[in-house]
Structure 1
Amino acid sequence: MTSDLPAAGDSGWSDPDTLGAIPPVRTVTYCGHCGESASKKSHVLCRQRLEQGPPQYCPSCRRRLTVNETAEGWVAECKKHGETSGTITRA
């Protein structure tokens, strides 16, 4: 009888000495400007736009942020991850 559960010595598992090993967790981050996966494409233009303005998406969960611009910079709030702030570089 074969099992789909991982076993010691299975290739691709981080710790072959642990029975029932769980694969490593990959953290996915998102672009603050466009909301797409940060690892899927080049975000050179997005990074340039983020230097000139506040983020629109949470980099942790991809939720749309509530953004308030102030004289000193910006304050963005994610419903799940709370508040972040930053400054804006004016050209």
Structure 2
Amino acid sequence: MTVLVYCDRCGEPAAEGDHSACATARVLEPPRFCPDCRRRMKVQVVPAGWTATCVEHGVRHS
């Protein structure tokens, strides 16, 4: 069984295309898409970091 992993910035499959711009942007930005299911995450940015929540896979922290 093949498990797809998605880019957490653009939501496209991580194995397809060039995601170097996404990787560069992710240094300063929180993730926007869940890498497990491609759902858009609820993101909260605070001075100390960020929290991103997927309704299916839970919370990710900076």
Q: 2: distance between equivalents of 1:58 and 1:48?
A: 18
1:82 is displaced (CA, Å) by: 0.3
Match status 1:36 vs 2:33 = no
Greater radius of gyration (CA): 1
Per residue, is there more strand in 1 or in 2? Answer: 2
Give the unaligned 5+ runs of structure 1.
1-24, 87-91
- Which runs of 4 or more aligned residues in structure 1 lie more than 3 Å from their structure 2 counterparts after TM superposition? none
Give the unaligned 5+ runs of structure 2.
none
Residue equivalent to 2:52: 76
Equivalent residue for 1:65, pick from 35, 41, 46: 41
Q: 2: distance between equivalents of 1:72 and 1:32?
A: 20
TM-score (normalizing by structure 1): 0.67
Q: Report sequence identity in percent.
A: 37
TM-score (normalizing by structure 2): 0.96
Match status 1:48 vs 2:28 = no
Q: What number of residue pairs does the alignment pair up?
A: 62
The DSSP-based 3-state class of the residue aligned with 2:61 is strand
Residue equivalent to 2:3: 27
Q: Which has the higher contact order (CA 8 A, sep 6+)?
A: 2
